[in-house]
Structure 1
Amino acid sequence: MFLTIVVVLVVSGALVAGAAWGVFGRPSDRVEGFVVALAGGALMVSAVLELVEPSTKQAPAWSVYAVVVLGALVFVLLDRAIARRTSKDSGGGLLTAITLDGVPENLALGVALIGAGPLQVAALSGSIFLSNLPEAAGGARDMSSGGHSRGKVMALWVATAVLLSLAALAGNLLLAGVPESALALVRSFAGGAVAASLATEVFPKAFREESYLAGLAATLGLVAAIALDQLG
C-alpha cells in the first residue's frame, strides 16, 4: 500500500505541479511545445507496451481491438463537444485528454501496483508522469490566458488530480479480484483514448509551438519510455 500511495501522489502531483508551472511560471511556447512532444513520445510507447499489447494476451484480440477503437471514439466525441463550446486554445481539450484516458489508465496503474515492485511499474507510472506535467502546464496556461482566474484554474486541475488519484486507489483496492480479461479491456479503452489524444491534441499542439524540433523531442520521449520499460 505504501508503494501505491507514493506512486499515486507522484503521478497525480505532476498535474498540480504542471498547472502551477503553467499559471505562475508561464513557460514560453517553444519550451512548452518541446516538453509536450517529449511527453507524447513517451506516452505513445506506454500506450502500446503497457496498455494495448499486454491486453491481447489476456482477452480475445477482437475485443481488445474493439475497445481500443471505442476508447478513441469516446475521446474524439467528447473532445469535439468541448471544442464547440470553447475556443481551440482554451485548454479544455488537454483537460479532456488527461481525464478521459487518465481514469482507466490510473485504474490500470492501481491494478499493476498489486504485489508489484518499483521497477515493474516504472514504465507506466513514469510515462504518465512525463505526460501529465507538460500537458497540465499547457492546459492551465491556455485556460489562464483565456480569462479564467488563476484560482479557478488551479482548483480545476487539483480536482482532476484528486479524481485520478481516487481512480488509481480504486483500481488497487477494488479490482484486485476482477478477471484479467476484464482488466485488459479497461487498459484497452485507455490505450485508445491515449492514441486519439496524441493525434488530436498533443502532437498538433507541440508542432504549433515548437515546429520541427517537436519531432526530435517526441523521439527522445520514445527512447526514455522504452528505457523505463526495460527496467520492468
Structure 2
Amino acid sequence: MMMTVIVIIVVSGALLLGAAWGSFGHLPDRLRGFLIALAGGALVLSLVTELIEPSVERSSAIVALGGVAVGAAVFTFVDYLIDEKWGPDSGGGLLAALSLDGIPENLALGVALIGAGPTEVAALAGSIFLSNLPEAAGGARLMVQQGRSGWRVLGIWALTALILSAAALIGFLSMENAGERTLAAIRCVAAGAVVASLATEVFPQAYREDRHLAGIATALGLILALWLGELR
C-alpha cells in the first residue's frame, strides 16, 4: 500500500511541477510540443504492453477489445460535451477538461498496481508522469495568459492533482478483490479513453507546436517506455 501511495504521489506531483513551470517559468511552444509528443509515444507502448496485452492474456480478446471501444466512446462523448456544450473556458468545463485525460490514466494506474511490484508498472507510471508534466505546463501557461493569477492557476492544478490521486486510490482500493476478467475490462476501458485522447488532443497539439520534430519525439517516447518496461 505504501508503494502504491508513493507512485501515485510522484505521478500526480508532475501536475504541480508542470503547473508551477507554466505559471511562473518560461516554456517555449516548440519545447512543449516536443515533450507532449514524447509523452504520447511513451503512452502508446505502455497502453498496449501494460494494459491491453495482459488483459487479453488474463481474460479474452473480446473483453479487451470491447473495453477499449467503450473507453474511447465515453471519452469522445464527454470531450464533445466539454467542447460544444459546456465550453472549455468556463469554470466547470475547464476543470472537467483538465481532469478528463488524467482520470482514466490514474484509474488504470491504480488497477495496474494491484498485485504488482513497482518495477512492473514503471513504464505506465513513467509515461503518465511524462504526459502530465507538459500538459500541466501548457494548460497553466494558457490560463495565466487569459488573465488568471499564477497562484490561482497553481491552486486549480493542485485541486486537479487531488482529484487524480483520488482516482488512482479508488482504482486500487475498490478493485483489490475483483476478478481477473473485471480488472481486464476496466484496464481496457481506461486504455480506450487514453487512446482517444491521444488521437484527438495530444498528437494534434504536439504537431501544431513542433511539427518538424514531433515524429522523432514520439519515437523517442516509445523507446523510453520500452526501456522502462525492461526494468522488470
| Within-5 A mapping of 1:88-127 | 99-127=99-127
> Could you say which residue in structure 2 is the equivalent of 1:201?
201
Q: Following TM superposition, by how much is the alpha carbon of 1:94 offset from its aligned partner in structure 2, in angstroms?
A: 9.6
Does structure 1 residue 36 correspond to structure 2 residue 19? no
Structure 2 partner of 1:63: 63
Amino acid aligned to 2:200? T
1:1-232 to structure 2, matched below 5 A, reads 1-84=1-84, 99-232=99-232
How far does the alpha carbon of each residue in 1:132-181 deviate from its partner, in whole angstroms, 9 at most, with x for none?
11111112222222333333322221111111111222233332111111
Between the aligned partners of 2:85 and 2:22, the Cα distance in structure 1 is: 22
Distance 1:230 1:96 in 2: 35
Distance 2:98 2:56 in 1: 24
Change in 2 beyond 3 A, CA 1:205/1:77:
same
Describe the shift of the 1:50–1:15 C-alpha distance in structure 2 as closer, same or farther (beyond 3 A): same
Given that 1:22 and 1:138 are in contact with CA atoms closer than 8 Å, whether structure 2 keeps it comes out as yes
- TM superposition score normalised by structure 1: 0.89
Q: Any idea what SS the aligned residue of 1:178 has? A: coil
Which sits farther off after the overlay, 79-88 or 205-214? 79-88
Contact preservation (8 Å) 1:8, 1:165? yes
Which residue identity is paired with 2:25? G
Judging changes above 3 Å, is the alpha-carbon distance between structure 1 residues 75 and 22 closer, same or farther for their aligned structure 2 residues? same
- Amino acid aligned to 1:26: H
- Counterpart Cα distance in 1 of 2:141 and 2:154: 10
Contact 1:93 1:201 in 2 (8 A): no
Scaled by the length of structure 2, the TM-score of the pair is 0.89
Deviates more, 1:167-176 or 1:36-45: 167-176
Tell me by how many angstroms 1:130 deviates: 1.0
Question: In 2, distance between residues paired with 1:42 and 1:70?
Answer: 22
Q: CA deviation at 1:100?
A: 3.2
Counterpart contact for 2:51–2:112, Cα < 8 Å: no
- What count of residue pairs does the alignment treat as equivalent? 231
Superposed CA offset, 1:41-97 (max 9, x none): 11111111111221112233223212211211121222222223588899x999757
| Runs of 4+ that moved beyond 6 A | 86-90, 92-95
Structure 1: gaps of 5 or more residues: none
Gaps of 5+ in 2: none
Q: Which amino acid aligns with 1:142?
A: L
Q: 1:30 to 1:215 in 2, by over 3 A?
A: same
Partner AA of 2:136 in structure 1? A
Partners of 1:69 and 1:94 in 2: how far apart? 26
Taking only the aligned residue pairs, the percentage that are identical comes to: 57
Two-structure CA RMSD over aligned residues (Å): 2.4
Structure 1 70/113 Cα, relative in aligned 2: closer, same or farther at 3 Å?
Answer: closer
